[in-house]
Amino acid sequence: MRKIEWSNILAQGLICAGVLTISIFTFSVSQNHSSTDSPRRQTQHPCNSVPASKPVARTELFFGLRKPNGIEVNNAEFQRFLDREVTPRFPDGFTVISGQGQFKDARGAILQERSKLLILLYPIAATSSQQIEQIRKAYITAFQQQSVLRADNLSCAAF
């Protein structure tokens, strides 16, 4: 039996020729082989409780904007990166959020920098992970970064 634990619920609104509400439900799946679970609960999919939703993969990529020379990746450079590397791989859409990041470097110093968070929702497919890795490698190369943080979840999405 798979036990579903809802870790968060996020509802976002997008205004474009009216109002479209996008609901995203993120969950984690863990194994639980309890003999007291009913067969009905064992076959229920977590997206069944969300009207018109379907299971999707959700990946978040965290891009630091400071280059090793101290100059930041500017908005035009980042947009060109999105146009060249992200849009061709995920043409159905994505979200980019500007933020302020913090991390500990190899010497133990706490560093802060502006950052961009890229959120991708996409059908679960083996090729998608390869495409995301290509995006990460392209950013690391283009802007001399040490890494691009990647976080993955399974979600339910209704458009």
Spatial distance between the Cα atoms of 114 and 98, rounded to a whole number of angstroms: 8
The predicted pLDDT at position 3 comes to 36
The predicted pLDDT at position 45 comes to 67
All residues at 6 or more sequence positions from 34 whose CB lies less than 8 Å from its CB, including other chains:
1
Spatial distance between the Cα atoms of 118 and 61, rounded to a whole number of angstroms: 5
The predicted pLDDT at position 38 comes to 43
Spatial distance between the Cα atoms of 45 and 125, rounded to a whole number of angstroms: 18
Q: 124 in helix, strand or coil? A: coil
> How many other β-carbons are positioned within 10 Å of the β-carbon of residue 26?
16
Parts of the chain with a pLDDT under 70: 1-45
The predicted pLDDT at position 16 comes to 27
The predicted pLDDT at position 20 comes to 32
CA–CA–CA angle 129, 132, 134 (5° rounding): 115
Mean pLDDT of the chain: 78
Judging by beta carbons within 10 Å of its beta carbon (0-12, 13-18, 19+), is residue 24 exposed, middle or buried?
Answer: buried
